[in-house]
Structure 1
């Protein structure tokens, strides 16, 4: 098994920590909030209020299930438009009250169903991209599993984008890439190697800003390292004037 195919397999491992796991292990006083105030509460996206080392923050993340029943409730981590609208509602609330935002991303992509398209999936993702680019609070995004397509990017327009070591971040799944390019989804590993989807490759290309080393799917070392880095980086970002923060965020994404 090649390194890329191994990482692809590990990124999709069901035993990985989820957004709710990190909310419990890294933060204090997490209180989940629900609903987009328009249609429904999407279980594929979770979010709420918490404290990080005493500092109020807003957490938003894509949630996969730990078993079949949970995955059915979470739609296998594929958000509907109401999920992205819930995320935006929480992020705008964070901006109103001056709370930094931390997002956790683990999705193969936004849900491509008919109902999702009818309710404006593309518009919901595009609005998140637009609004996040101008939010006047620090944002850190962390890829904790799969980071697939616009479904991941809709929570990743951030001042800092980090990846756990054995995760992936790509414009679409390797299977989808292979199906489009060669009409053969079985060539996913070959596609993954061409796409440069691994954390270390993306760090070299400056698509992401930091890679968090991993030692197994659950490790107290990972949690402690992530917590330490979040505290340190937020302290620096919070000291920047808003104009500087937004200009740096703009330049970060414009260079692509």
Structure 2
């Protein structure tokens, strides 16, 4: 896959996450508005549609030319310095996608750590299929989380005397969540809050102080068709904007439009989410 094609894929995936739109024209319209507002550059909706057709849909037989200045702006939009930075960094990351890189932050004296872990071996098997969970990549790992991650993959810890100690997989999951809470900031990715240590991620993305309750409990419900009175009434909240309704797992404010959330009612659930079987039968 060419560097330009990789970039256009990243741009449209980013646009879908930010806008919530899943059509080609909808994402193209969002990108046109975003670039004019944030960069002061007019790239028409039609141009973005042409990029999509050439590099994603494959309706064109060959790649089209994109000016270097535009490539740099598109790269900035997805978080890189310029197109050269994207090409070097993203290609390298893509080529090593099947490898697992683990960074260990040493918070204690190296000698004491060496003594503590000299008899501990963590074996990761079937590594070609092993992928780092997304929340671990976002939130980082401490020294103990590394050990627990090994337990998640292998199901056990092997000591020098060959005895195995089995640990539940949920133990590592809770460790990762705790690591996220310890971050100073968080940002909304369109579905949930992601923890970060940086007060700035990229233009257009609001980073706010860590709120433990929101980080753990506030999420957008992506499968609205699964909601019913039984599982959603009194347990979910909704936001209505431009006749579009989104459902959330907790009370608060819709991060995408700033609207105060309201508790879901039977009518709202029936009209905008999954319909009850008996209701559907009555309609027919």
Q: Relative to total residues, which structure has the larger strand share, 1 or 2?
A: 1
Shared topology, TM-score over 0.5? no
Q: Which of the pair has the greater relative contact order for Cα pairs under 8 Å at 6+ separation?
A: 1
Higher-Rg member (1/2): 2
**TM-score, with structure 1 as normaliser:** 0.25
